Structure 1
Amino acid sequence: MTRTGERAVKSRLRTPPWIARIEEPDGQVLGAGVLLAPDRVLTAAHVVRPGRSYVVHFVGVAGVPGIAATAGADEHVPQRRDAFGDRSGDLALLRLAEPLPAEHTTRLYRLAAPHGPVSMYGFPDGDDGGRWHGATLVAARGRDSQVQLRPQTPDERAAPGFSGAGVVDHATDEVIGVVLSVDEGPGSVFSYMSPTETILSHLPQIAAWAEGAEAVDPALRTGATGATGRLDVPFATELASWFRGEGWPVLVTVVPARSHRAWTLTRAITLADRELRTQQNTSAFSHDPPETVPPAGGHDLALDVKGMTADQVLDRIAGRLGIRGDPRPEGLGTLRIPLAAVLVGIDQSAEPDALLGMLDRLARQGARLLLVFRRRGGRAARAADSFVQSPLRARWTRLHQELDHIVDELGPALDERRDRILPDPGTRPLLDQAEAGVRRTRMLRAWVAHTPEREREPRRADLMFTFEDAAERRRQRLEQALAALDVRLRRRGELLGRITAEWPLCRERTDGRGETVIEAYRLYEDALSRLRQTPCDVDRAESAVDAFIAFCSGTAPGKEGAS
């Protein structure tokens, strides 16, 4: 077991002192919380109300009685629905009437693109001592970047007593967020977590109790230099599209320092960061065209790489992803959720060629990269070709080849087999779908062959991805259909072998017995003609073969046989 894994297991074998159980004064359990400071507990806003008194118990600290606590209105962010109907907020800080020792506290940890297994400690109904539940982080949802949690087993479904519970990442053994809502009803499965950076965007005072690298370098934040600029709408639209995950995964662009493009870039980076995107800065851009506004959580980190070596950049990436130990590029490729990174000043780094080589490996492993150069030509032009144009052309070429393979090879192979053999009745829908896929692919190939160049631009790559997915599904369906027919053809060959081997033996046994010979020959010819018929009905042919062999062996009903 790795050292990281050992830490995670040990943390779940004990009850950490920072775990809080929040109750009404009458003892009714409302939810859980996280002790961030000697007198402050973080929880979900729907667990508590401002101005009311609550009792907080720390189940991992022996001998400490319940402590009175209240939530202030300025530290209570109720759950709201934004203009798109997504949930936002639902966070609160409780102030304890009596502080605890500082060693009982924990810290929130910033972790980009949360992924993998986690644990949370909550208080389901009837279990005031609490328990650990395991879950897997699925994906961020909505503009508040709340993360979906899927229970590891049906018995570990989160209950209302888990609201406000700290979520511990197994890879780092750090608290990376708190549980917010829990699906309700008999079929409920999922719960949702607010990650650290989203928490900080709603309650920035918590930054004093947070650790981990911030996603955005200070120089890349809007207002960092005190300068303002004019929005470059086409460039802002292109950036917002990349931050939404649209188009080709690598965007190579040139942004001179202290230009309108530079201001547009920092605006996009700031708005796409979970921690930096606040109600204040989104309001400042509320009149901008909506297509220029990126979603929160659109990147994992944004680095100004001027003067940095490739290893230094890789270390920063690994730190943001919570990778401890060996941060080689191939290690990053094992992540279930790919990296999304903005790197500014590639041509001003300490070793641009080595950096581009490392980034090329990450791109091949599925990373989304926004590569910003300060000067045109040279490395910027070569990077645009190697990261975007060449691989994009190669993908279109492979798509053409795949379509040709389906139409010119798999389709005729299916026709040839269907001419020779009838399918099993249970596979007819599959074969019908496969044939329909060939027809649709023939039309798609014709469309792709005449696709205008503007449809092949990097920003329109989603169209190609859709075609690739369709081609893959149709190819797999055709291969399944061919495999099903090949099973029938092999069975036909086996039956031919059986009847061919049985006929000489049957003739020896029936030699000199006139009517028996005639009947055996009739059954043999019937079975043989069915096997040679095209398309062959294997089921009827097999029945005829069985009848012939049964007659020859003397086991046919009502027949004396040839024995």
Structure 2
Amino acid sequence: MEADGDVHRDEGIYASWRLRLWRGDPVREVCGAGVLLTADRALTCAHVAVDRDTPLWVDFVAAPGAPAVRARVTEDGWFPSAGPSALPGENEKELDVAVLALEAGVPSLRPARLHRELVTGERVLMTGHPEEAPAGLTLGATVRGLRERWIQLDPERGNVLHGFSGAGVSVDPGPRHREPAPDRPPPPLRVVGLVVSDQAVAQHRLPTDYDYMVPVDEIARAVPLVAGLAAPFDWDDALWARVWTWFHGQDQPSVKISVLEEGSDRHRTFRFARHLADVDHDAAAPGGVRALAEQVVRTQGDAVGDGAACRDWLLTGQYAEARRATPYRLRGSVLVTGLDRAPEREATLALLGRAHAAGLRLLLVCDSYGEPKRQAEQQLLDPALRTHSRALVEKLYQGEKRRRAQRKYGRGAGSTTGRPHPPDVAVARHEDWVRATGQSDPRRRIRALRKLLRRLDRDLYALTAELGRGTGE
């Protein structure tokens, strides 16, 4: 999970999908770069991997907390470069590309957002690990045009060096990306290709005045995994902002439930936020509810004491004798997908209920609107919305109390303008809360609570702005 202080870090610098590759054990030698595709798959150049059988080490330089992992070329992921006589389209699977399988997955890191579209004249960025700068060196270039099956790049400050091969080429998003709005983060960078300059110059004898990359569109023609990840889709800004805000924002309900149809644009957008969760669990995967309990316990470390006892409590609700007087207090967020297909759905919801009561925040994703979603709403979302809306009513009451004090001492907005003061609404919102929670039908109650939360958000936004004016902030 990203640290709280890192939520606005420029992905152009801190992109966790950028990989450094090493060869050799125990003495390691930097041999190139790569791109993280999924939690356990990466992409690099075939000439970096050397062959199908040589193991590599993958290092996450932009995510210092993630340990290096071993990787090997997948059985169907070997696409070495063609000879100098090859022409475009002669053998589309000879691209100097290799797909790597990581021995240990890294679900806490954001994968690259692959993009097929490429425009002549665009400025692109490449970060490699040459001998002179093994920690990383970023160079800029301009897209010029097709050269055989690769794309020619016009470098800005000299050509890329050995150690750049396999590096992801991303489109420079410009200054707007680096100054995101606080409530709407920028989308991830668009990765449009891999650097292949070493191979292009050495084997294909292309001019050395330029750099070269193999575009994502060409890779997708040969690699089904890349084709699926780079399929054209409309980025859902609204969903991205809501999910990002839920993970990082304040005044958010502790339970969120979303419906994301597999393969939809919303589902593809959501994939780039999964790394934000402390626990990412597929309820339909082998291991079921026990695997979920073990994942939760691992994220808590020593805070829960006896991990086995905490796991058993999550599974059964029964405290060990030694813990009866001190209930568990858990921290972090849990993402659960595949709830519709979970073979142990009742047990999963029961475990999540206990985890939520102990302090965990829950983001549940369903494939469709149906009984699993309704069960989750009634058992988890309903109590979370009650608690959250009641807390916002109290926050509104305290804010209006502070506003009355400002007015009394002549510091409030409107106190010297002759305009009427905005009315206090906390009492009315409390009455709304009583009516909403008094609904006997769970679905109507949830709708009423959601409507109340929207009102409270508007009330608190206006109140915060007025209090800021009153204190000169």
The alignment's TM-score, normalised by the length of structure 1, stands at 0.35
Q: TM-score, normalised by structure 2?
A: 0.40
Q: State the structure with bigger RCO (CA 8 A, min sep 6), 1 or 2.
A: 2
